[in-house]
Amino acid sequence: MNKIVLVTGASRGIGLEVAKLFSKEGYKVIGTSRGDFNLGDLIGDSSAMSVQLDLMSKESINDLFEVLKSKDILPSVLINNAGITKDQLFLRMKDKDWDEVIETNLNGLFRVTKAFIKPMVKNKFGRVINISSVAGLMGNSGQVNYSSSKSAMVGFSRSLAKELGSRNITSNVVAPGFIETDMTTFLNDDDKIEVSKNIPMKRFGTVEDVAKCIVFLASDNANYITGQIISVDGGLFMY
């Protein structure tokens, strides 16, 4: 196994913490973002590679694949973390709000995984970890588009697990709940207190809570875990 990981959406939040923890585990970390950023400076690892990537562009993804292939640093671990929100009540939701979220969160997932899965199949080793959301499991008002894209990740990941398990490739889903990131800054303190009442652990999670789970799923300790959804939500949603 080569210790190379590709993390999409690595410039902030969960993705940035994931990149940091993988770096501490001795991985060569390749991080992507829509905007310009320096991952090495952000995580204190000069060997980390930063890439601007447009998930809505097949060409952008294929270009990244060819660059990594030419450098002989194709990843054995893929973390599909990047995603966007365009929240609106369904009756007011514009076609553009739906299309952009599905195109980025779901079709982008397909494009990135399709591009990087073949070397894993060839090497008979790989880890695909897709970052969904508790919103994809239980729904959320104002997020029909986002919840749909995150729910679809489950079917995608489980189908992939069934197809590629015999090749020693695992495919799992991590579904964060309310996490202290930029995506929850719109909530004021009173809102957070009210939301926390529905969380058995009575607090929001941290990016480290989520990142530790992701790194575990990529480790040898998770060799026999595939096709699973692990909710990192403090008990907010239970099957």
Q: Is 198 part of a structural domain of the chain?
A: no
Catalytic residues: 146
pLDDT computed for residue 65 by the predictor: 98
pLDDT computed for residue 188 by the predictor: 66
In angstroms, rounded to a whole number, what is the distance separating the alpha carbons of residues 56 and 83? 11
In angstroms, rounded to a whole number, what is the distance separating the alpha carbons of residues 188 and 160? 39
Q: Is 187 part of a structural domain of the chain?
A: no
In angstroms, rounded to a whole number, what is the distance separating the alpha carbons of residues 162 and 227? 7
CA angle 103–12–179, rounded 5-degree value:
85
C-beta separation of 128 from 115 below 8 A = no
Q: Is 43 part of a structural domain of the chain?
A: yes
C-beta separation of 174 from 131 below 8 A = yes
125: domain CATH number? 3.40.50.720
Closest alpha carbon to 51 in 7, 84, 17, 16: 7
Q: Is 50 part of a structural domain of the chain?
A: yes
Q: Is 186 part of a structural domain of the chain?
A: no
Which residues constitute the domain of residue 147? 4-179+206-230
pLDDT computed for residue 72 by the predictor: 97
pLDDT computed for residue 2 by the predictor: 85
pLDDT computed for residue 194 by the predictor: 77
- Residue ranges of the chain whose pLDDT lies below 70: 182-192
Q: Is 109 part of a structural domain of the chain?
A: yes
Number of Cα atoms under 13 Å in the Cβ half of residue 90: 8
Query: Count of domains in the chain?
Result: 1
pLDDT computed for residue 52 by the predictor: 97
Q: Is 126 part of a structural domain of the chain?
A: yes
